[in-house]
Amino acid sequence: MSEAFAAVDVIAAKRDGGRIPDEQIDWVIDAYTRGAVAEEQMAALAMAILLRGMEPSELARWTAAMIASGVRLDLSSVDRPTTDKHSTGGVGDKITLPLAPLVAACGAAVPQLSGRGLGHTGGTLDKLESIPGWRASLTNDEFLAQLRSVGAVVCAAGDELAPADRKLYALRDVTATVESIPLIASSIMSKKIAEGSSALVLDVKVGTGAFMKNVASARSLAETMVSLGTAHGVRTVALLTNMHTPLGRTVGNALEVAESLEVLAGDGPSDVIELTLVLAREMLAGAGLSDVDPADALRDGRAMDVWRRMISAQGGDPAAPLPTARETHVVVAPASGVLSRLDAYAVGVAGWRLGAGRARKEDPVSPGAGVVLLAKPGDSVQAGQPLLELHADDPARFDGALSALEGGYDIGAAPTAQPLIIERIS
């Protein structure tokens, strides 16, 4: 078939700092998805967008075209309000695991399409796949049936959901265009809007272990995503949250599941509990359920009940023992004092090198690998006291993890307290 436009004209318009006309946006996304626009042409356009940016109306149209490349799920058959959360990714960020069943226990439905980890940030699906029998892939019918019966689904996005994003995401990864805020925002929001939820809470991480290293860039991304969600009829708010230090006391798949179970049992690290409850309250408010206190559902066991049903519905055995790594290695404090810094990125890379993460999408992960934090910033430690416990199936991995941790922590004066929740954007 003859094409309505030439890709080179679209590239040139953006290269010269212009706004791509709506009909050309619609065409280029559709043509790229069909294979009529070559990879090198879309790579050039992505680089032009990174360098020149996009106007808000232009980006809204681009995102709409990404959504239109596939299906938009219809959740109208679900008899409770729908609300979801998306995190931009961090180290020890297991919040989805306790959060989805908690919000479902409070009367909302949580349709969460999640991803796998790449590099130093962990993926929710990798964590859940450490539970024996649990499966990430569901048909649309299974997805809807579970949403109606259990109230919470965490699974992989199907191929029919924003296929343009899947192609463009892989291209950005190999063309140094990942950092473009318009492309990040449209990638996240096209999938989340296509998912069909009525309300969305964004957890935008800020810090060394996050994609956005400073508050200004995180705020810019959050504001862009909130405006995109609002423009597409989804009630959207964003929280900027601290990712200079890992969340909780575990980094690694089965280790983080075990910690999530502690939270669901009414215990667990205070930062994980705090962020879970803050996000739950935002999600419930978006669903029109702001009078429900999620802390009650943690205390009385309702959230744990929904967790067991959610895991069982996807073939998992919630009572089965979680996998453990074959080998451990303890890192001890080199001096006495206060642990003043524990760098999230260093710990994330260590966990990755131990086998908890992957360098390429097709790489396997070791479910029991990871890092246990035996001290957090602000804790007093003695020389020789255990600081970190490394878990791996292959002891040859310890050297790489230890080199990642070099310079990743300090012992000295007490650190200045940093808030977990930095800012709210609506």
Convert the pLDDT of each residue in 130-156 to its tens digit.
999 999 999 989 999 999 999 999 999
How far, in Å, CA of 155 to CA of 402, rounded?
A: 33
pLDDT tens by residue, 80-132: 999 999 999 999 999 999 999 999 999 999 999 888 776 677 789 999 999 99
Please, where are the H alpha helices in 116-214? Answer: 124-128, 140-149, 163-173, 181-194
Which is more confidently placed, 175 or 1? 175
How is residue 334 written in tokens?
């080199």
Residue range 205-233: mean pLDDT, rounded: 95
The number of CA neighbours under 13 Å toward the Cβ of 68 is 15
Residue 202 clears pLDDT 70, i.e. is over it = yes
pLDDT computed for residue 1 by the predictor: 67
Out of 26, 126, 165, 343, the active site residue is: 165
Catalytic (active site) residue 93? no
Could you say which DSSP state residue 406 is in?
T
Domains of the chain listed by start with CATH number: 7-68 (1.20.970.10), 83-162+170-313 (3.40.1030.10), 327-412 (3.90.1170.30)
Percentage of the chain beyond pLDDT 90 is 88
3-state secondary structure of 40: helix
Out of 191, 281, 391, 397, the active site residue is: 191
pTM of this structure: 0.94
Contact assessment for residue 97 and residue 213, using Cβ atoms and an 8 Å cutoff: no
Residue 169 clears pLDDT 90, i.e. is over it = no
Kind plus residue range of the DSSP H or E element containing 200 = strand 199-206
Catalytic (active site) residue 329? no
Q: Which amino acid is at 286?
A: G
Sequence-separated (6 or more) residues with CB below 8 Å from residue 89: 121, 122, 205, 210, 211
Could you say which DSSP state residue 82 is in?
B
Residue range 400-410: mean pLDDT, rounded: 97
Catalytic (active site) residue 391? no
Determine the Cα angle at 324 with ends 319 and 327, to 5°: 165
How far, in Å, CA of 376 to CA of 248, rounded?
A: 9
* Confidence class for position 417, pLDDT limits 50, 70, 90: confident
How far, in Å, CA of 315 to CA of 131, rounded?
A: 10
Helix, strand, coil percentages (3-state) for the chain, rounded to 5, are: 45, 15, 40
Residue range 241-259: mean pLDDT, rounded: 97
* Confidence class for position 415, pLDDT limits 50, 70, 90: confident
How far, in Å, CA of 382 to CA of 380, rounded?
A: 7
How far, in Å, CA of 204 to CA of 184, rounded?
A: 12
Residue range 374-390: mean pLDDT, rounded: 97
3-state secondary structure of 54: coil
3-state secondary structure of 265: coil
Kind plus residue range of the DSSP H or E element containing 256 = helix 253-264
Q: Kindly report each contact of residues 19-22 with a partner whose C-beta sits within 8 Å and lies 24 or more positions away, as own/partner.
A: 19/54, 19/55, 19/57, 19/58, 20/58, 20/62, 22/61
Catalytic (active site) residue 172? yes
How far, in Å, CA of 271 to CA of 417, rounded?
A: 13
Out of 87, 130, 180, 187, the active site residue is: 187
Tell me what the pLDDT averaged over the chain comes to: 95
Q: Which amino acid is at 56?
A: P
Q: Quick count: other Cβ atoms within 10 Å of Cβ 58?
A: 19
Residue 26 clears pLDDT 90, i.e. is over it = yes
* Confidence class for position 305, pLDDT limits 50, 70, 90: very high
How far, in Å, CA of 57 to CA of 40, rounded?
A: 26
How is residue 424 written in tokens?
């709210």
Residue range 43-70: mean pLDDT, rounded: 96
pLDDT tens by residue, 347-372: 999 999 999 988 776 778 999 999 99
* Confidence class for position 31, pLDDT limits 50, 70, 90: very high
Out of 14, 61, 85, 86, the active site residue is: 86
pLDDT computed for residue 49 by the predictor: 97
How is residue 319 written in tokens?
């009572």
For residue 290, with 0-12 CB atoms within 10 Å meaning exposed, 13-18 middle and 19 or more buried, which class applies?
A: exposed
Determine the Cα angle at 120 with ends 114 and 126, to 5°: 35
How far, in Å, CA of 410 to CA of 345, rounded?
A: 14
**End-to-end CA gap in the chain:** 44
pLDDT computed for residue 272 by the predictor: 98
